[in-house]
A = this chain, B = another copy of it.
Amino acid sequence: MTRYELEDRLLHGGDYNPDQWLDHPEILEKDLELMKKSKSNTFSIGMFSWSQLEPREGEFHFEWLDKVMDDIYSIGGNVILATPSGARPAWMSKKYPEVLRTNDKREKMLHGGRHNHCFSSPVYREKIAIMNQKLVERYGNHPALFMWHISNEYSGECHCDYCQANFREWLKNKYGSLKSLNDAWWAPFWSHAYSDWSEIESPSSIGETMVHGHNLDWKRFVTHQTIDFYEHEIKDLRRLTPEVPITTNFMADTHDLIPFQSLDYGQFAKHVDVISWDCYPAWHNDWETTADLASKVGFINDQYRSMKQKPFLIMESTPSGVNWHDVNKMKRPGMHLLSSMQFIAHGSDSNLYFQWRKSRGSSEKFHGAVVDHDNSEENRVFQDVKAVGEALEKIKEIKGSYKAAKVAILYDWENNWALNDAQGFSNASKRYPQTLQEHYRYFWNHDIAVEVVTSEADLSKYDLVIAPMMYLIREDVMARFASFVSQGGILVSTYITGYVNENDLTYLGGWPQQLQEIFGISVKETDTLYPNDRNQLRYGAQTFEVKDYCTILELGTAESIVYYEEDFYAKTPAVTKNNYGQGQAYFIGARTGLDFLEVIYDQIAKETTLANSWVIKGDKEVSVQSRDFDEESYYFVMNFSESNKMIEVASESLDLITNTSKDCQLELKPYEVLLLKLKQN
């Protein structure tokens, strides 16, 4: 068995950059001492070491890395060894400018930054192949080797001639003929038909930007080419260490923690052995409550876990603040343990940090780290990290357990690209990923487990599938929706669904027939509102505000749950429910607030067994998440508020963190977290 398979601890540690301190042996010595004290056991090494590993072309220096590997092994630690392609030495950029990116204006970038390399460049591929081969040959059998970490936060795109040629090749493979491509891109529009493959170039802010099929295929190609580069990187690693798992670290986008926008991780996930990612919530900010943010953290961790439906890794997080938010505030006391446990609660088997030690210079020197410039274990952050390390040791029995969920929310990267690119509606209010977060919120509020899946997912395992704003929807997805509902599933969709096919070509002849059947309605018009426009829905005695989008519907077999109150479509249906086969399909035609979603999903929860039966009396700011083995259940109870909270649960338990028995009344202090194992009666 490999070190990875044998490891029974939850992983704790993080990005370690000894290459910055080779002139400071006392620092490297101190690191080992503090690693042990902080209960850290796993370290990512080498992301940006190329200039230390190969300071001049063909001149390699591994001796420092040998020592680091040995040292970590000596304290019982794991090494996640990175390939250094995320940044390259200056000599390479100077000698082979092709390794650098060309931006969309066809300007060759200059050496600098990181992640500034062409994914097609033959030279870059050759250089990284040499490097990676040396790494695997030297360390493939090192006893500390735990996992391979490929490059760093893959992202970005290149428009050089190599990439243009690869793009054309990819298009030829996809379309076979120019006629097919011209059809798919609706090329006669604005005289855009191509007469030769060589005429095709990537989109550019000083050239073509308005052909949606073109834009969509370019984004697909960028994902393809990134994965192709990744596959190139791992070739020798896979060959020589087939048993060592390979990962690369994924990201989120913006402080809203929506899924990363530029790469289709749904595709990329198929190529990694373990999902790992970098999570940086802006705790304690001034625009949302702690619970608001915690729900977003829950959403994206659920999403990334769902990609492989097994435990994932937090590859980077911060013990305190970061350095790249607009405002870099420190975690308040209690938040580090709480937020670390939240990762575990949503299925992570690690909490790894960027970074182990703050660098002394350059742009990340103030990014939160386990070890600060004071080089001390006395400060608050180190003590917080150590407390997490101790807690992780206490709860390690949950390692490998998994979360079950009967609710799926569907996120489709291609739909997101197409919708954002669409000329129409209102750009400021599209907010597809944020809409998913809003739907997710109901389930977070009510402690109901959720998976966030792609439109390729097997839906049969879920009771409820939520697929809002499926502007781009493939025919096979519609067919699978039909099959899911007809076999007893509950499907929820919304406004701005069913517009275009996989090529961003509109469906002709009205709203797709398949959707009409599933939802028992026909969509007539979508009204896009100005920011200050409002409409109302009335449900019983309550009214609910509507904004941004209103679908005007015609009922087929569906019944209307609620009607518009105002405007020329007042008294027409706004939200409908249809019985289709054994299941039901809900269509929410208007953008409402969470208040109305609570009503709809409460109704669905009442009619099913979705509600969390263990939580008798919950609290919207206290999140309960479970992880399970076949015969055992663990409940994380997390107070994401600044107040004391009381909730009531169905059974007595043991808190693993404090080793304390708990009865059914659970009292939590601000930011307090419990990890409860049900008592074996």
Contacts and interface: CB of A to CB of B under 8 A. Distances in A.
Interface of A: 17, 19-20, 22-23, 48-52, 55-56, 84, 86-91, 93-94, 103, 105-107, 109-114, 183-196, 198-201, 203-204, 206-213, 284-287, 321, 323-324, 326-330, 332-333, 358-367, 373-376, 379-380, 422-429, 503-511, 524-525, 527-533, 567-568
B375 A189 contact: no
A299 to B, nearest CB: 22
B51 A201 contact: no
A529 to B, nearest CB: 7
Nearest to A202: B110
A189 B48 contact: yes
10 contacts: A48-B189, A51-B195, A110-B206, A111-B208, A113-B210, A185-B362, A189-B364, A366-B424, A374-B508, A379-B524
Given A110-B207, A328-B425, A195 B91 contact: yes
Nearest to A18: B188
What 7 pairs between A and B have smallest CB-CB spacing?
A: A186-B361, A110-B207, A112-B208, A366-B424, A286-B530, A112-B207, A90-B199
A361 B190 contact: no
A210 to B, nearest CB: 4
Contacts of A189: 17, 20, 48, 359, 361-364
A507 B284 CA distance: 28
Nearest to A203: B112
Contacts of A20: 186, 188-189
Contacts of A380: 524-525
A469 to B, nearest CB: 15
A88 B191 CA distance: 6
Contacts of A332: 567-568
A107 B510 contact: no
Contact of A286 (B113, B366, B424, B531): B531
Identical chains bound together, number = 3
B373 A510 contact: yes
Given A426-B327, A530-B286, A90 B360 contact: no
Given A51-B191, A362-B189, A329 B530 contact: yes
Given A366-B424, A505-B360, A209 B112 contact: yes
Contacts of A333: 568
A361 B503 contact: yes
A192 B362 contact: yes
A414 B508 CA distance: 48
Nearest to A101: B206
A205 B633 CA distance: 53
A428 B193 CA distance: 43
B90 A527 contact: no
A207 B567 CA distance: 53
Nearest to A185: B361
A90 B373 CA distance: 54
A366 B525 contact: no
A201 B425 CA distance: 42
Contact of A113 (B207, B358, B428): B207
B503 A198 contact: no
Contacts of A365: 186, 212, 423-424, 506
A681 to B, nearest CB: 40
B531 A327 contact: yes
A190 B20 CA distance: 9
B427 A84 contact: no
